[in-house]
Structure 1
Amino acid sequence: MHSPTKRHALPKSNVPAVQPTPATTTDLTGFTPADSSLRGLVGGTPVLRVSQPFTSPDRGFWAKLEGFNPGGIKDRPGLHMVERARARGDLLPGAPIVESTSGTLGLGLALAGMVHGHPVTLVTDPGLEPSMTRLLTAYGATVDMVPAPHPTGGWQQARRDRVTELLARQPGAWCPDQYGNPDNVAAYTPLALELAAQLGHIDVLVCSVGTGGHSAGVSRVLRQLYPGMRLVGVDTVGSTIFGQPARTRLMRGLGSSIYPRNVAYEHFSEVHWIAPAESVWACRQLASSHYATGGWSVGAVALVAGWLARTLPRDTRIAAIFPDGPQRYLETVYNDEYCAEHGLLGVRPGPEPELIGRPDEKEVTRWTRCTEIADPLAPTVRTESIEGGRAR
């Protein structure tokens, strides 16, 4: 029969026992942590290495996750345009802000209005997700919905006409005019410097194009640091920006039915047009493989950046800007019922884009690439390819 284990007393320690000290009170009166203001929430977004399933494991690209801003990438120009207008005296204290938006800039302007004390009216159209309408309203903005598209300029022109009407009714009201405001471009200087600090060197920059602000602003700064850097634009089918005919567009956040003057055509090496189903496939692949994903622009940019990473030399450093996160797209991109209704499910993009020689060669309906870049409103044509990088 086994006897119970004998317990041995621990040897006495020569170290004196620690006596508890009385609790002390720290005076936090007036203490404010750094960057704890609303303004301090914007910027400093992370980068993420993206590879499979867009590339083999030994290749990939770097994604700048602008969805980590409170409202997405356009928090940057929303704040910057308002602050510059206030500094110039164009926007007086407490004066109304009125602007056209498909959603993301609306979040940035709502934030700017909250920070600086301005009422904000956002003119949009029925394509705006109901969740976005509710969110913008919760942030204190007034959402003004246009009832019908313009006969030739579509919803975008209808929204701009409504802005003009509202400005005439409200003396002292100010419109940022995101499509032609140079402050929209300048707002992205910090983003460019963040990318340079995070990646050290950049060979290729991939950007979606809508108002043209972030592609122009980021590329202008990075080309001063890396003169040989190439800029690849990503547009949507049905957009007029690079010379295609205007059509009804399902994808929001990129593309345009007008010609934004902030688009820096001379900076681009090539453009890719992406169809909605192709973007949905890429968005969902990102979600299931990298957790970080986003909306239409993110899927389109990821598809193009992945192809570049597969086809360019292995040591090419590619940066891709992901403008937002997935939250506002739960009713569209990530909704099986919505996607099935619009024929967006079960469509896997081809391994490479179709290539056309000129933007007006034919109307594109799927992933298509063109290395001839021209401002549709200018008489001259400039071409430059990603492989050669020479204008001719």
Structure 2
Amino acid sequence: MDLSLLEPFPMPSPGALAPAPLAALRPAHLVGGTPVLWIDEPFAPLGLGFYAKLEGANPGGIKDRPGLHMVREARRRGDLIPGAPIVESSSGTLGLGLALAGLTYGHPVTIVSDPGMEPAVVRLLTAFGAHLEQVAAPHPEGGWQEARRERVAELLARTPDVYCPDQYHNPDNVAAYRPLATELIAQLGRVDILVAAVGTGGHSAGTARVLREYLPGLALIGVDSVGSTIFGQPAGPRLMRGLGSSIHPSNIDYPAFDEVHWVAPAEAVWACRELARRHYASGGWSVGAVALVAGWAARTSPPGTRIAAIFPDGPHRYLETVYNDDWCHEHQLLGHEPPHEPDEIAEPDERVVTAWTRCGKVRDPLGRTVVDSVAEAGVR
């Protein structure tokens, strides 16, 4: 992206003709160059906060980056021919990114989702020209994610020339976050700790990998949802969308993590609402969970430690859930201020966690090596 598009308009001298406005020529040019905001109280004392990378400032959120990048790379390789359809499974944010990519490169887009997709996102995707298919029931073992992936496979089998980005296993998803990392370096100069939510594994792996090219001592803290299988917990019902998984994406770079935290829905709701009330910057489940953990890292790290936290989206798609008192009361999510410190377990599968918990040991629960993950993803 041409960052000059983000420069302020120059002020003309009195009587001079107004200059031509600096403007994005295509909506894809609006992706990237997102701002960073300092966050402290109530997550950490004044002076001991963290820097939030506000990816909700992208047109559709953080997954505009991989949506555009995966489609661009597929076209370059010839995997996606001009005008061919794109089909992918998404709970929302990647769907928005692929809708943008479809508009940018001229491809019809079909998003396979489930009944948990927020009505606001359904309407947005439809307005942006995407076609939606919704599965009716979760897979008995892999939940809604696996049910969506099975529907994608059916569509691939019967649609000529169709392309599926496969965000869970596509290394282009990881590579898409190089610009995010270089933006952080330009904005902060140094990052000691990166806090990132984990779902497909793309932005945690891609951002940390590039940061460590410049900052080899970087620590990476992963943030997961209770009920997620990613880091070795058993699968369970998950109210939170956008982080966590009921499958095991090969894009997750397990050796890159120094520790993992699991966060529960009520704790994320508290954090989201505090962010909105105190900092006028908030988002959805991932944002709340990441803020909670980043605040803990700020409180417990030596003074001067520079912490960056990635906020994947903004609040608008969550107005009828996270920010709706009636919905939150129905799910018993209000009035539960998180503890000052997380619980701890020594092994990721030591016991089932139901509230904010951390573990300093991270491993792939399937026992895959890096070579295994590359083979699973395929050569692209």
> What number of residue pairs does the alignment pair up?
356
Q: Superposed, which structure 2 residues align to 1:258-273 within 5 Å?
A: 258-273=247-262
* Aligned amino acid, residue 267 of structure 2: E
Using a 3 Å threshold, how does the CA distance of structure 1 residues 32 and 161 change in structure 2: closer, same or farther? farther
The yes-or-no answer on 1:353 pairing with 2:342 is yes
Q: Kindly state the Cα deviation for residue 32 of structure 1 after the two structures are TM-superposed.
A: 8.4
Please tell me whether residue 323 in structure 1 is matched to residue 312 in structure 2: yes
2:215 match: 226
Aligned partners of 2:368, 2:102: CA distance in 1, in Å? 40
SS in 1 for 2:260: strand
* Residue matched to 1:168: 157
Residue by residue over 1:290-315, the C-alpha shift from the partner in whole angstroms, topping out at 9 and shown as x without a partner, is 00000000000000000010111011
Question: What is the correspondence of 1:100-119 to structure 2 with a 5 Å cutoff?
Answer: 100-119=89-108
Q: Report the equivalent of 1:137.
A: 126
Q: Indicate the residue corresponding to 2:11 in structure 1.
A: none
Gaps of 5+ in 2: 1-13, 370-380
Q: Distance in 2 between matches of 1:43 and 1:71?
A: 11
Paired residue for 2:235, among 237, 243, 246? 246
Distance in 2 between residues matched to 1:254 and 1:56, nearest whole Å: 27
The residue type paired with residue 212 of structure 1 is: G
Runs of 4+, deviation exceeding 4 Å: 31-34
Q: In the aligned structure 2, how far is the partner of 1:152 from the partner of 1:89?
A: 35
Give the TM-score normalised by the residue count of structure 2. 0.92
State the alpha-carbon separation in 2 of the partners of residues 302 and 205 from structure 1: 12
1:66-85 aligned at under 5 Å gives the runs: 66-85=55-74
Q: CA deviation at 1:36?
A: 2.8
* Alignment partner, residue 339 of structure 1: 328
Partner Cα distance (1:217, 1:34) in 2:
29
Aligned to 1:11: none
Q: CA deviation at 1:372?
A: 0.5
- CA deviation vs aligned residue, 1:213-260 (integer Å, no higher than 9, x gap): 000000000011111010000000000000000011000000000000
Partner of 1:96: 85
Q: Considering fraction of residues, name the structure with more helix.
A: 2
Question: Secondary structure of the equivalent of 2:258?
Answer: strand
- Aligned partner of 2:376 in structure 1 is none
Q: Which TM-score applies when normalising by structure 1?
A: 0.89
1:1-392 mapped onto 2 (5 Å cutoff): 33=22, 35-378=24-367
Letter of the 2:163 counterpart? W
Distance 1:147 1:329 in 2: 22
**1:59 shift after superposition:** 1.1
SS at match of 1:244: coil
Q: For residue 181 of structure 1, what is the amino acid of its counterpart?
A: N
Secondary structure, aligned partner of 1:320: strand
Give the residue type in structure 2 aligned to 1:318: I
Determine helix, strand or coil for the equivalent of 1:273. Answer: strand
Q: What percent of counterpart residues are identical?
A: 69
- Could you list the runs of 5+ residues in structure 1 that have no partner in the other structure? 1-19, 381-392
